[in-house]
Amino acid sequence: MIPNMEPFTRSVDLLSGAIAADAVVEDRRVADLHGYYLDDSGAEPDRIIYRLYAVPVPEANSELQCSTTVIEPGRIGREYHMTKGHFHAHRDRSEVYLGLAGDGLLILATEDGRHRVEPIRKGSLSYVPGGWAHRSVNIGDEPLAFFAVYVGDAGHDYATVAEHGFPVRVIQGDDGVPLVMEHPGHRR
């Protein structure tokens, strides 16, 4: 084949997760996550929950999307800061997460009601197979940063998670320790 893209190199700050130069940077604030948390009434709408750095790559199944996510430490009510979470729009597309910094949990769930909880920390490599929705949660006191690489045309289905939620939520227990709780409102 004759390639239609040129090779390139970008710089990832392994401590902060930031990607330099032409990365597309997007912030997700409390107001953007309204409805995802049990109760966000006490949280300032402008507070940044997480930041995404994405290297621009065509959305084709021959390509690999590369991005980092940085989730600030903190809670909304008793719930730890977390991403929206999604299925891939093309359900069978997989993804790899490499933990860079901080202390987190990766919550995974299938449409038939199974779930898994995996750690995210410096050096953790998590494989997210097709068909598993995924959400990351910062349970530590420092920013949680991870690198993700996934099939170029995976796409993001947020609507299914927005409607049904995940089977579990991560909250701070009475003793200050993170607790993975069944989510009573979750429907299959």
Of positions 19, 100, 105, 148, contacts ligand PAN by CB under 6 A: 148
Please give the Cα distance from 94 to 85 (Å, whole number): 14
Q: What angle do CA 58, 82, 75 make, to 5 degrees?
A: 150
Q: Which stretch binds ligand PAN (CB under 6 A): 109-117, 150-158, 169-177, 180-188?
A: 150-158
**Span 28-67, contacts to ligand PAN by CB under 6 A:** 52, 67
Q: Which two tokens stand for residue 188?
A: 């299959």
Least distance (Å) between residue 175 CB and ligand PAN: 29
Length of the chain: 188
Of positions 12, 95, 108, 170, contacts ligand PAN by CB under 6 A: 95
Closer to ligand PAN by CB, 2 or 99: give it: 99
Tell me if 90 contacts ligand PAN by CB under 6 A: no
Tell me if 133 contacts ligand PAN by CB under 6 A: no
Give residues with Cβ within 8 angstroms of 88, minimum separation 6: 95, 130, 150, 151, 154, 155, 156, 157
Of positions 150, 166, 168, 169, contacts ligand PAN by CB under 6 A: 150
Q: How many residues bind ligand PAN (CB under 6 A)?
A: 14
Q: Which stretch binds ligand PAN (CB under 6 A): 16-24, 83-91, 102-110, 114-122?
A: 83-91
> What is residue 95's DSSP assignment?
E
Task: Give the SS3 label for residue 10.
Answer: coil
Tell me if 134 contacts ligand PAN by CB under 6 A: yes
Please check whether residue 81 is in contact with residue 70, taking contact to mean a CB–CB distance below 8 angstroms.
no
**C-alpha 153: how far from its chain's center?**
17
> How many CA atoms does the CB half-sphere of 142 hold within 13 Å?
12
Name the residues that contact Zn ion, by CB under 5 A.
95
* Residues near ligand PAN, by CB under 6 A: 52, 67, 69, 83-86, 95, 134, 136, 148, 150, 154, 156
